[in-house]
């Protein structure tokens, strides 16, 4: 019989050349089919605590509910939403417990892939950490940045070129820690075994525009490990002005086994 397709993530995080510490965090839960990137809000207190807390809480929740998701694939949106809301509640509670942590926050993007009846990527996100799909040389952004500048673009007040250099382009309008009842934006999109899904903090997208990301991925020979490594290295080569975190998720080759 044919084994079901298994998707695996490769991830890496680097402090970069400018920041004194790394406020990004990531989770590679290949056994659960869950992948997460969080980016603590720069300029806010305890951004690293917020990101690490969010990832730790979501990781625990994902492990608790992974078997449930396997038997309830139609509830994947509920599953990834719960990862976000559980993490946000913990951050909110921490700020109430410790006044020194008040104002902390983090972006968050979580991915899971359900296999039946067809593979579908389910993404929940808040902030400007992104998810992309790379397919046949084409890069598609799957998430929408929750930033002040993106709102201006959507209203037609500025164009994309202006947005890319706007001095307030990284001012967030949504993120974990910005309210007690934050609800993520959800995206569900079918995927095929030839796709690569990229999750990243804005330390990548500050340094590389989408065309450059696509170009790096095109040179990776469909190898997610090489793709992840090359994206990080290119961001560092171009200045590494922020912490940079990348996860590349791809399907493993399926195998036929006899009964």
Nearest to 168 by CA among 181, 183, 182, 157: 157
The residue ranges of every structural domain in the chain are 7-251
**131-148 confidence digits (pLDDT tens):** 999 999 999 999 999 887
Residue 157 has pLDDT above 90, yes or no: no
Q: Which residues pair with 94 in a beta bridge?
A: none
Burial of 237 from C-beta contacts in 10 A (0-12 / 13-18 / 19+) = exposed
**113-134 confidence digits (pLDDT tens):** 999 889 999 999 999 999 999 9
Cα distance between residue 146 and residue 103, in whole Å: 18
**12-24 confidence digits (pLDDT tens):** 999 999 998 999 9
**191-237 confidence digits (pLDDT tens):** 999 999 999 999 999 999 999 999 999 999 999 999 999 999 999 99
pLDDT of residue 173: 87
pLDDT of residue 255: 45
Prediction pTM value: 0.92
| Homologous superfamily of the 7-251 domain (CATH) | PPM-type phosphatase domain (3.60.40.10)
């Amino acid at each position: 019989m044919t084994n079901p397709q298994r998707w695996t993530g490769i991830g890496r995080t680097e402090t970069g050349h400018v920041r004194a510490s790394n406020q990004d965090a990531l989770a590679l839960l290949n056994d659960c089919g869950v992948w997460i990137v969080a980016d603590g809000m720069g300029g806010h207190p305890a951004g690293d605590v917020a990101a690490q807390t969010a990832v730790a809480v979501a990781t625990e929740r994902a492990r608790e509910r992974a078997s449930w998701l396997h038997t309830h694939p139609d509830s994947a949106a509920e599953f990834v939403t719960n990862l976000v809301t559980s993490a946000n509640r913990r951050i909110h509670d921490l700020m109430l417990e410790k006044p020194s942590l008040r104002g902390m926050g983090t972006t968050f993007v979580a991915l899971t892939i359900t296999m039946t009846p067809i593979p579908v990527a389910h993404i929940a996100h808040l902030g400007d950490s992104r998810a992309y799909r790379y397919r046949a040389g084409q890069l598609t952004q799957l998430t929408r940045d929750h930033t002040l500048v993106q709102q201006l673009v959507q209203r037609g007040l500025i164009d994309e070129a202006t947005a890319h250099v706007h001095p307030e382009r990284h001012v967030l309008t949504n993120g974990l820690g910005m309210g007690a009842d934050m609800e993520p934006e959800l995206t569900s999109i079918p995927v095929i075994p030839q796709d690569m899904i990229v999750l990243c903090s804005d330390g990548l997208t500050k340094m590389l525009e989408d065309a450059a990301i696509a170009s790096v991925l095109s040179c990776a020979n469909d190898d997610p490990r090489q793709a992840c490594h090359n994206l990080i290295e290119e961001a560092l080569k171009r200045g590494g002005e922020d912490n940079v975190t990348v996860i590349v998720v791809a399907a493993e080759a399926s195998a036929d086994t006899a009964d």
